[in-house]
Amino acid sequence: MSFPSPTSTTSKRPAPSWSATTTLAELLREAEEHHGAYEAVAPAAHHWSDWYSAYIVARAADRTPDEAIAEAGRHMEAALS
């Protein structure tokens, strides 16, 4: 699954298909399930959307949930440093 580039400002993004929307909803629910463990030890300055987005991008790239958790953690370490 791929998502349109968020940096494109000159072209209209294509509307996601029903399948993509359903997949994204599933990934959001999955991210919510896994975010709790990070939330328990996360610095107060973090925003949940940063962790969720890193997790979802990793899962969309066919990483396992455990790999996506690790990637989201690395992303947060870099973002907060």
Q: What confidence tens digit (pLDDT) does each residue in 2-39 have?
A: 555 555 455 566 666 768 888 889 999 999 999 988 88
Q: Give the span between the Cα atoms of 29 and 6, in whole angstroms.
A: 21
pLDDT of residue 15: 66
- Determine, yes or no, domain membership for 42: yes
Please provide the size of the chain in residues: 81
Residue 52 domain flag: yes
> Are 38 and 72 within 8 A, CB to CB?
yes
**How many structural domains compose the chain?**
1
Q: Is residue 4 situated within a structural domain?
A: no
Tell me the residue range of the domain where 64 lies: 27-80
Whether residue 10 lies inside any domain: the answer is no
Q: What are phi and psi of 77, to 5 degrees?
A: -60, -45
pLDDT of residue 42: 85
In a domain, 76, yes or no: yes
